[in-house]
Amino acid sequence: MEFTATKEAVLLAAQNVLRAVPVKPMQPEQGSILLSAEENGIILAGTDSELGIKCWSTAQIITEGEVLLPGRYFVNVLRRLPPGPFSVKKEPETEHIFIQAGASNFKLLTIVGKFPPLEPEQKTVMATVPELALRSGINKVAFAAARDGLRQLLNSVLLSVGENKIRLVATDGHRLAITEALEAGDDDTTDYLVPVRCLEEVSRIFSGEEQVEIVASGKQIVFQATKARVISRLVEGKYMPYESVIPTDFAWQAVVDRDELLAALERAQVFCSENENNAVDIKLTATGVGIFARSAKIGHLEDLVDGEIKGSNLEISFNVNYLIEPLKVLEAEKILLEFSGVDSAALLSPFGSQSYRYLVMPITTRAVS
C-alpha cells in the first residue's frame, strides 16, 4: 500500500473516526483504525461494536491495500506532521507503515488482527434529508436525552420516519423535546430507537450542504453521505407513549422575545449554579415574566422580560439549565410559554408553530417573594 495526501484532509477524517474507537480497548484491534487505499482515495474506519464511523478522503493512490493501525497513535502522528502533503507506504510482509512529511519520518507498527464488519449487507433507504436540516433537528432534542448510561431507552432518541416527515423525540424523565420539522420519508411510519451518542456524532460530522441517506437494516441504522458514514446499533424496546403526557389545557400563557428571555436566564444562571437544583423562580405578572435567582454565597437577581401574558399571577420554579438549553437551539423570534399549574409541566414552543415542543417539569423551591 502506498499513497500521498494532504495532512489537513486526512487528519479531519481520522479525528472523526477516532471518536468511535474505545479509549481503553481490551485488545489492540479494538482500539484500531482501518486504513484502506482504494482507486478513488482512502477510507478510514473505527468502531467500538456499538458505534462505527467511516470517512473518505482524497489521496493519490500509488498502490492499493489496507492496514490496521493503533488509532490514537496514528492520529497523534498526523497531528504532529507539518502542514501540507505527506506519504504513507507499507511494504509487503512487513509489520510497519512508513509516514514521511518534509524532513520528518515515522515508522509505525501495524496491528495483527481482523477488523469487525461495520455495515449490514441488506439495507433499505428510509429517507433522504439535507445535512443542515438533520443537524438542526438533532440539536433541538439530543440535549434532553438521559446521559447516565443505565437506562437505554432514555439514553436514546426516538426517530420516527413516515407520513412524509421525520420526528425526533428525546426525554430524560424531567423534560421532553419533540421536533418534526424534517419533511421526508414514506407514508408508513417506522420507529427507531437510536443511541443519542450516535446522533450527536451525526450532527457533528454532517454539517455541509449535501443530502444524508437514513438507511435501516435489522438491528442497525446508517446515516450516509458522500464523505462519511455513521453506523449504530439500535436500542431494543418500545418508547414511552409520550403524547399522553403533554397537557392540552393551559390556564397561563406568555409570549416573549426569545433573545430577551435567554439573556435574562443566563444572567440568573450565575446565581442558580450555587443551588442544589439550579432553581430559577418564574413569576408571571400583568407586565411580563419575572426572573428571580438567589445564592447565599453570591447574592440575588431580579429581572423582568416584557411579554404578552394571559392568566392571573403565577409563581413557579425550574432548573434554569432546562430552560436555557432549548432556547439556545431555537431560531424563533418569539417563544410561547404555557402553564397548567405550579406542579404541572410547562410547554415551550415557537410562537405560532407546533413544529417544536418542549415539555419541562417544575421543581419545588421556596416561593418567590
Buried b (16+ CB within 10 A) or exposed e, 193-205: bbbbbbbbbbbeb
Cell of 337: 410559554
> Which range has the worst mean pLDDT, 15-19, 181-185, 310-314, 362-366?
181-185
- CATH architecture of the domain formed by 124-243: Roll (3.10)
Q: What is the residue extent of each domain of the chain? A: 2-109, 124-243, 249-360
Tell me what the mean pLDDT of segment 345-365 comes to: 92
Tell me what the mean pLDDT of segment 119-142 comes to: 89
Cell of 84: 501540507
Q: Is 185 helix (H, G, I), strand (E, B) or coil?
A: coil
- CATH architecture of the domain formed by 2-109: Roll (3.10)
Give CA–CA dist 278/61, Å, rounded. 55
Strands 356-360 and 175-182: antiparallel
Q: Which residues contact 105 (CB under 8 A, 6 or more apart)?
A: 98, 99
What per-residue confidence (pLDDT) applies to 207?
84
- Choices 2.30.110.10, 3.10.150.10, 1.10.150.120, 3.30.2130.10: CATH for 249-360: 3.10.150.10
Residue range 175-216, pLDDT digits in tens: 999 998 666 655 567 899 999 999 999 999 998 889 999 998
Tell me what the mean pLDDT of segment 248-265 comes to: 96
Domain 2-109 identical in fold to domain 124-243: yes
Give CA–CA dist 29/355, Å, rounded. 44
Residue 255's nearest CA partner among 367, 332, 166, 342 is 332
Residue range 261-302, pLDDT digits in tens: 999 999 999 998 777 789 999 999 988 999 999 888 889 999
Q: Is residue 56 within 8 Å of 41, Cβ to Cβ?
A: yes
Q: Is residue 156 within 8 Å of 169, Cβ to Cβ?
A: no
Q: What is the DSSP letter of 143?
A: G
Residue range 36-90, pLDDT digits in tens: 999 999 999 999 989 999 999 999 999 999 999 999 999 999 999 999 999 999 9
Q: What letter represents residue 113's amino acid?
A: G
Q: Which uninterrupted H or E stretch holds 75?
A: helix 71-79
> Across-strand partners of 191?
160
> Which range has the worst mean pLDDT, 101-115, 128-142, 268-282?
268-282
CA distances to 73, 81, 103, 177, 252 from 106, in Å: 11, 10, 10, 49, 67
pLDDT above 90 for 231 = yes
